[in-house]
Structure 1
Amino acid sequence: MEEYFQVGVISSTHGIAGEVKVFPTTDDVSRFKKLKEVILDTGKERMTLHITQVKFVKQMVVLKFREFSNINEVERFRGNSLLVTRDQAVKLKKDEYFIADMIGLQVVSDENEFLGKLSDVIQTGANDVYVIQNETGEELLIPAIKDCILKVDMEQGQMLVHLLPGLRD
């Protein structure tokens, strides 16, 4: 299971006092108000940053960190991810899972046919769509609805699905 979850990506600086604009990658943007710290992933290292101020500008989050006081210190972090640890992650409801934990699940049909592995989750407006990739690289798209997703067993690393007519076409 994943230890860290991405909550945003630094898109640009904001002003000259070391603030950054963050593109949120979390379902609940308001969670930034409650966060005290995040982990900056530079690709080479991870550093803990302490949030001192949170603002919302259009679809972006503007963050100020205790560690930085001017634009020159934060400019180099454009495009870098902001992470939280699993214990800082939002609490899940029954039958909800983190996408990062689901990637790689073995997918089997209710007719005991191995369909492949869950390789991606497409988030549409109505419901998610699971991308299942078989050994030859072919993809099958399955809507994440109760009629199709019969069981998710995270301990066994397996998902049981029912293929509605037309899904293979």
Structure 2
Amino acid sequence: MKDRLAIGYIRSAHGTNGALRVHSFSGESEHFRKLERLTLRYRGIEREYEVEGVFGTHPTLLVKLKGVDTREAAQRLQGWEIWVPRENAAPCREGEYYIADLEGCEVYSRGEEGSVFHGTIVAVIEAPHTFLLEVALSGGGRAMIPFQDHFVGEVDILRRRIELKTPWILE
């Protein structure tokens, strides 16, 4: 499992003092208040920042970073993702997991003689209405599976295993 997770992204600048309007991927904001440091990522570039303050609640969450002191500096960070160590992300409730943990899981379905292995998830892609699981197929090639209840059954992150309800989606 990944030791760092994306917890949100910078939507826009707020005000004139460099405050950032932030979108929380989890829809929660409490974990942002505990942050002392964070990493911003954009197109392969990473920057570390110290957190000066967090204000408001989701969906209007504001973050002030040390060294980002003007509206113009804040505007240059629009679209950057916010990454933190796993222990600083919003805690998962029972039955929840981080989307990032799907990568590396093996994909199975139920066959007449037990479980059938189909491949391994190599990427999770955010699409307009759902996530897509990119699977490297055991017989070669790749397939995309919409991460929706209609196609995906049980997800067992601890065993690194995902069960398909409809294996024909791989054809």
Tell me, yes or no, whether TM beats 0.5.
yes
Deviation at 1:33, TM superposition (A): 3.3
Q: Report the Cα distance in structure 1 between the residues aligned to 2:157 and 2:18, rounded to whole angstroms.
A: 44
Asked if the contact 1:115–1:132 (Cα under 8 Å) also holds between the matched residues in 2, the reply is no
Residue matched to 2:15: 15
Alignment of 1:126-137 (within 5 A): 131=133, 133=135, 134=137, 135-137=140-142
Q: Secondary structure at the match of 2:45?
A: coil
Deviations 1:22-69, CA, capped at 9 Å, x for gaps: 22222323433343432222432330321324124x833222223322
Aligned residues: 162
Residue matched to 2:117: 114
The residue identity in structure 2 corresponding to 1:47 is: E
Deviation at 1:80, TM superposition (A): 1.0
Deviation at 1:18, TM superposition (A): 0.9
Asked if the contact 1:52–1:64 (Cα under 8 Å) also holds between the matched residues in 2, the reply is yes
Residue matched to 2:46: 45
Q: Report the Cα distance in structure 1 between the residues aligned to 2:71 and 2:124, rounded to whole angstroms.
A: 36
Q: Report the Cα distance in structure 1 between the residues aligned to 2:40 and 2:145, rounded to whole angstroms.
A: 35
Q: Report the Cα distance in structure 2 between the residues aligned to 1:22 and 1:32, rounded to whole angstroms.
A: 10
CA RMSD across the alignment: 3.5
Residue matched to 1:154: 158
The residue identity in structure 1 corresponding to 2:38 is: V
Deviation at 1:16, TM superposition (A): 1.2
Q: Secondary structure at the match of 2:67?
A: coil
Give the structure with the higher percent strand: 2
Q: Is the counterpart of residue 139 in structure 1 residue 144 in structure 2?
A: yes
* TM-score normalised to structure 2 length: 0.70
Structure 1, unmatched stretches of 5+, are none
Q: Report the Cα distance in structure 1 between the residues aligned to 2:53 and 2:161, rounded to whole angstroms.
A: 42
